[in-house]
Structure 1
Amino acid sequence: MAGPVDDGFYMPAEWAPHARTWMAWPTREALWGEHLDAAREAYAEVARAIARFEPVTMIANPVAVAEASIKCGAGVGTMPMDHDDSWLRDSGPTFLVDGKGGLAGVDWVFNAWGERYRPYAHDARVAAEILARGEVRRYACDLVTEGGAIHVDGEGTLLAVRPTLLNDNRNPGRSVAEIERLLCSHTGASKIIWLPEGLVDDETDGHVDNVACFIGPARVLVQTTDDPDDANYERLQANRELLQAETDARGRPLEVVEVRQPKARYQEDGTRLGLSYVNFYFANGGVVLPSFDDPADDRAFDLFEELFPDRKIVQVPALDILHGGGGIHCITQQQPAVEAPAADKDDVH
């Protein structure tokens, strides 16, 4: 059976133009507890920030559509859809393009980050449902993974963290070679760079979107700390050093840009929150950047203005999102824009 790459599809870079952004309204009370109302306000603020640049669709359980619509405002669309949790980066489809006006999506197997949360049956169907409602071609892949576990440059290079995908709670018995084959055949990547570790206490087993991401061709942003006593120090150093010695799929040495992490914050149970400026979101003409009520917020804002002079940087408070286990990138999923075929462009009626 032909896969997406066989049919000419690939996963574009996140800075490529978007048709819209998909999000999901917070719903799992057992996860959020007393933070649920604050989380909903925070999601709505992120949605409104993105809506300044491109269309946003918020899926919501049918009983929550009215609340989501009111809180998000008129600029954000809502769509009734059963779901269990609110991390659409992970449960939603990975969209693909073919450069000829075609759009498709990968429906990975979703098992709630190694079956950490139950139930997840609705979330396991969300990707297929979104693709069906949009009449988008669907490619089912039997690899267990999440959107936050992979990041691409759109030119053949994919970043991932070993303990996430190469884990018996997701893909037991599968070899590295088999996992790489499936990733490449469904994203268009020809080279995978495996980072050794994610952040401490990351219950996703270390999603890459908290530690490193492409910000341009052969250009990678990494989170770092200069405090050798910090629990993340050795992990982040190892990631940085590996990337500094790497090349992309086209053989270009990677330029590694560092962003310093904010000070450590903790949940009530003592686990560390995964605060990360790498967990930002590209929008059309903009960047939605998290803030953490930390002195490092201003430094990160200045860095992003320098990195993206042609984009407007909008900083949005993200601590209330972090209490659920993720950040701004984790709650968003971009649907790339597609160009009409050249013949259609030239056709004059």
Structure 2
Amino acid sequence: MPAEWAAHDRCWMAWPCRAALWGEGLEPARRAYAAVAKAIAGFEPVTMLANGEDLADAAALCGDQVACRAMALDDSWMRDIGPSFVTDGRGGLAAVAWGFNAWGEKFHPYDQDAAVAKALLGDLGVRCFSAPLVLEGGSIHVDGEGTLLTSEECLLAANRNPALGREEIEELLRRHLGVKAFVWLGQGLQDDDTDGHVDNLACFVRPGVVMTVVCDDPADPNHPVLQDNLMRLKKARDARGRELEVVELPLPRERRYVGDQRLALSYANFYIANGGIVMPSFGDEQDAAARDIVADAFPDRRVVQVPASDILVGGGGIHCITQQQPRP
């Protein structure tokens, strides 16, 4: 599996449609998705999948720079329902279709989302490897040199693969993604519906360098969790035996809630595009500082911030709603 910073042929997204999840936030979410799609389209081609009845509205909001394509959907988290593309180093492209159970049976129905990866690969004529593993793409991140970053809370959760232990899961990831070494973080952000997806916590910036979210408020429940993850990264080694250089990225200062559930706001939930970074802003005092840190970490890419609060209402961020197709 190539690193996200490798060249892409396209970015895939999916149009919000689960009314029971979004409620009154559905139309604001659609506008926010369109804004993200248009920002990414400034760097690389983007295709938005949408239910047939939503296709015209998606095309109208996304504009001419974003292609729209009909696909049966339950909702809109392309990182988690889409395929994970892999390359063979000789110009060949294939992809892994993981099992999908709506983040541990949290939302129903999900049968159409569970079929998206195979349906899309069939349309593209791309070889599909069906993995006997329930996994969402937002729960893993790779450096393209054999190292995979993930979290114990998610991959070892009983609501995903109760019959599989750490060693069995690692072996399936080795076989399907070509990885050799694993960096395991612990827990995820408070109230995160994904059960600790790593794309809210940390990501590789380049081989040997990882960016991780930290919290400077000892009273915040996320503080000890993120400190533990930071310590794990400082002790870790990658597939080539290197100690990791760690770049720290702050959490937004303001805590936000839907009802009594805290939203998992994270600046690490960004998309690495061809020549650019599309990252969230939240109208928070940390927005500018986070942007500067990301820009320093990716000096060869232009950073664009897109307001993402309306996406977070549904339980995810910019990385969660995107899926890159690498250029083999």
- TM (norm. structure 2) is 0.99
- Percentage of identical aligned residues: 57
SS at structure 2 position matched to 1:301: helix
- Alignment partner of 1:100 out of 90, 95, 101: 90
Q: Equivalent residue for 1:81?
A: 71
Report how many residues are paired: 328
**1:253-268 to 2 correspondences below 5 Å:** 253-268=243-258
Higher mean alpha-carbon deviation, 57-66 vs 259-268, is at 259-268
Offset of residue 266 of structure 1? 2.6
TM superposition shift of 1:303 = 1.3
Larger Rg: 1
Q: Report the residue type matching 1:60 in the other structure.
A: A
Distance in 2 between residues matched to 1:246 and 1:69, nearest whole Å: 45
Cα distance, 1:269 vs structure 2 = 1.3
2:139 corresponds to = 149
1:96 deviation in Å? 0.5
Given that 1:60 and 1:78 are in contact with CA atoms closer than 8 Å, whether structure 2 keeps it comes out as yes
Q: Which residue of 2 aligns with 1:173?
A: 163
How many angstroms apart in 2 are the aligned matches of 1:217 and 1:266?
A: 34
One-letter code aligned to 1:219:
V
Partners of 1:264 and 1:129 in 2: CA distance: 40
1:124 aligns with 2:114: yes
Q: 2:58 aligns with which of 68, 79, 83?
A: 68
Q: Which runs of 5+ in 2 are unaligned?
A: none
SS state of the match for residue 148, structure 2?
strand
- State the alpha-carbon separation in 2 of the partners of residues 99 and 234 from structure 1: 41
Superposition map of 1:153-164 within 5 A: 153-164=143-154
C-alpha separation between the residues in 1 aligned to 2:35 and 2:130? 33
User: Residues 82-116 of structure 1, C-alpha deviation per residue, up to 9 Å, x if partnerless?
Assistant: 01010000000000011111000100000000010
- 1:300 equivalent in alignment to 2:290: yes
Q: TM-score, normalised by structure 1?
A: 0.93
CA distance in 2: counterparts of 1:192 and 1:252, whole angstroms: 13
The reply on whether 1:22 has 2:12 as its aligned counterpart is yes
Structure 1 range deviating more: 295-304 or 65-74: 295-304
Mapped partners of 2:218, 2:37: distance in 1? 37
Q: String of CA shifts for 1:139-184, please: whole Å, max 9, x gaps.
A: 0001001000111001010011111111111101212111110011
8 Å Cα contact 1:264/1:273 also seen in 2: no
Match of 1:345 in 2: none
Structure 1 residues 48-95: Cα deviation after superposition (integer angstroms, max 9, x where no partner): 000000000000000000000000000000010001010000000000
Which secondary structure state, in structure 1, belongs to the residue aligned with residue 72 of structure 2? coil
- Whole-Å Cα distance in 2 between the matches of residues 267 and 119 of structure 1? 25
How far has the Cα of 1:267 moved from its partner?
Answer: 2.6
Partner of 2:242: 252
CA contact (8 A) 1:161 1:198 kept: yes
User: Does residue 316 in structure 1 map to residue 306 in structure 2?
Assistant: yes
Please say if residues 258 and 313 of structure 2, whose CA atoms lie closer than 8 Å, have aligned partners that are also in contact.
no
Aligned match of 2:281: 291
Aligned to 1:134: 124
1:90 aligns with 2:80: yes
Which deviations, in whole Å up to 9, do the C-alpha atoms of 1:6-48 show, x marking residues without a partner? xxxxx00000000000000000000000100000000000000
